Amino acid sequence: MNGKLYRIRNGAKIAGVCTGLAAYFNVDVDLVRILAVVLACTTGVGLVAYIAAALILPEM
């Protein structure tokens, strides 16, 4: 883990949440995006969590 969690707008597709999570956990951003889409489509929890993170996390 790389310190504090931020939304990173550089390279972002929507709000930068997945980019920030990928940087924080030091994993590929595409993997995080796929996981977010799967969670959003299967349970709906992913969509709620993404929106909450987009509103709560500070932008870098």
Q: Measured between alpha carbons, how far is 48 from 59 in angstroms, rounded to an integer?
A: 19
- Token readout for 3 is 């310190």
- Domain, as residue range, for 48: 1-60
Q: What is the CA radius of gyration of the chain?
A: 11
Looking at residue 19, what is its pLDDT? 93
Give the tens place of pLDDT for each residue, 5-32.
Answer: 989 888 888 899 999 999 999 999 999 9
Number of domains in the chain: 1
Looking at residue 1, what is its pLDDT? 57
pLDDT category at 2 given cuts 50, 70, 90 is: low
Q: What is the DSSP string of 4-57?
A: S--B--TT-SSSSHHHHHHHHHT--HHHHHHHHHHHHHHTSHHHHHHHHHHHHS
Is 47 a residue whose pLDDT tops 60? yes
Cα 17 off chain centre by: 3
